[in-house]
């Protein structure tokens, strides 16, 4: 079975790309299994902590955790290859259990929390509208936002894994995150940003960013902090992908929004997957408004127009802050990241 990882930062298009993969019958998909609250990989350091050569203990922790993921995702009747009505039955049983627990104000078991996490990307899609998986899928695809500083861990545990890095215009991405923060969403990211500056200062790997972090006018600016988080995550991740000689591709949010068929075909060729009918159907529904009020997949918006609208809506003040940060380090950034940023800003 080949392993594929979808990496990136929040609001970069990772979930959309992951759901495209999950619509393929020959893919077993795992949604953010490294989330702290799931306690599946308890020994793995937090998302801000850099891990270069993790060693045998952490590598085995990841391998052993992956051996458990399938049974954690499918704890009841449904298994890959079985009829989708069994997945619907599982969902009914677990949701009934959760309602009873809420009624009596009792905590939900860790087993159920793990089930919810691993099905998070399809929680609003009825099981009978999901793809029926083959009995023995050839690919395992994992979406994870907590491994950007742990490329060595992926490389050590899964040599030869395919890695896809989703990236988005930093202004549009930061604006989207700030909007969700104001609604009380993305709590884990919000908490991790509280310690991000200190975590960066305390790690030798981030030496080249120290003067950025110590800039007195920037440290207490939440927008600047988010931009620094964006830049450091992508710069370090891309450097490490080259350093560990990983097989990877950059997936631009703008390109996949503009021409989903072309980009997904290219991504699938890179991975070695066929572009099957189930994927085409999902892609059509999730990238264009089809007016299908019965569909839980229909996006009700056109991706090619929506991404442009979001970029145009970015506050000019935020764009100026981003340009300041980029120009400060433009000469030392990873060439691939610099090339991408040149498409967003006139450097």
Instruction: Work out whether the CA dihedral 69, 167, 317, 236 comes out positive or negative.
Output: positive
When the pLDDT of each residue in the chain is averaged and rounded to a whole number, the result is 92
SS3 (DSSP) at 16: helix
- d(CA 303, CA 220) in angstroms, rounded, equals 34
pLDDT of residue 287: 82
CA dist., res. 9 & res. 170, Å (int): 10
pLDDT in tens, 128-155: 889 999 999 999 999 999 999 999 999 9
Question: Model confidence over 51-102: pLDDT tens digits?
Answer: 988 889 999 999 999 999 999 999 999 999 999 999 999 999 999 999 999 9
- Nearest alpha carbon to residue 18 among 247, 311, 256, 258: 256
Distance CA 30, CA 156 (A): 19
Which range among 104-113, 156-165, 215-224 shows the weakest confidence by mean pLDDT?
A: 215-224
Q: Is residue 245 left, alpha or beta, with left meaning phi > 0 and alpha meaning psi from -120 to 50? A: left
Nearest to 175 by CA among 227, 217, 229: 227
Indicate the range of 191-205, 213-227, 315-329 predicted with least confidence: 213-227
């Amino acid at each position: 079975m080949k392993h594929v990882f979808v990496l990136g930062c929040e609001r970069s298009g990772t979930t959309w790309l992951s759901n495209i993969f999950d619509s393929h019958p020959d893919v077993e998909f795992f949604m953010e299994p490294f989330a702290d609250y799931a306690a599946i990989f308890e020994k793995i350091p937090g998302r801000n902590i850099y891990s270069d050569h993790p060693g045998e203990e952490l590598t085995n922790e990841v391998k052993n955790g992956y051996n458990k993921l399938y049974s954690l995702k499918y704890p009841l009747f449904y298994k890959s290859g079985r009829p989708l009505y069994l997945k619907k039955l599982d969902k009914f049983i677990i949701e009934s259990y959760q309602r009873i627990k809420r009624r009596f104000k009792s905590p939900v078991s860790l087993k159920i929390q793990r089930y919810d996490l691993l099905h998070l990307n399809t929680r609003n899609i009825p099981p009978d509208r999901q793809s029926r998986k083959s009995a023995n899928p050839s690919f395992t695809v994992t979406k994870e936002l907590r491994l950007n500083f742990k490329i060595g861990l992926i490389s050590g545990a899964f040599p030869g894994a395919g890695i896809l890095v989703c990236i988005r215009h930093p202004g549009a991405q930061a604006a989207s995150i700030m909007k969700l923060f104001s609604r009380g969403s993305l709590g884990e990211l919000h908490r991790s940003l509280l310690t991000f500056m200190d975590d960066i200062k305390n790690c030798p790997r981030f030496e080249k960013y120290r003067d950025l972090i110590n800039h007195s006018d920037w440290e207490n600016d939440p927008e600047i902090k988010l931009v620094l988080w964006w830049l450091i995550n992508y710069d370090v991740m891309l450097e490490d992908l080259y350093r560990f000689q990983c097989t990877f591709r950059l997936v631009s949010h703008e390109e996949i929004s503009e021409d989903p068929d072309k980009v997904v075909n290219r991504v699938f060729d890179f991975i070695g997957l066929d572009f099957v009918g189930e994927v085409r159907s999902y892609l059509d529904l999730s990238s264009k408004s089809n007016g299908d009020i019965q569909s839980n997949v229909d996006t009700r918006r056109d991706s090619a127009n929506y991404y442009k609208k979001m970029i145009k809506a970015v506050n000019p003040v935020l764009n100026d802050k981003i340009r300041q940060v980029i120009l400060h380090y433009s000469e030392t950034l990873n060439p691939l990241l610099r090339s991408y940023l040149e498409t967003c800003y006139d450097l």
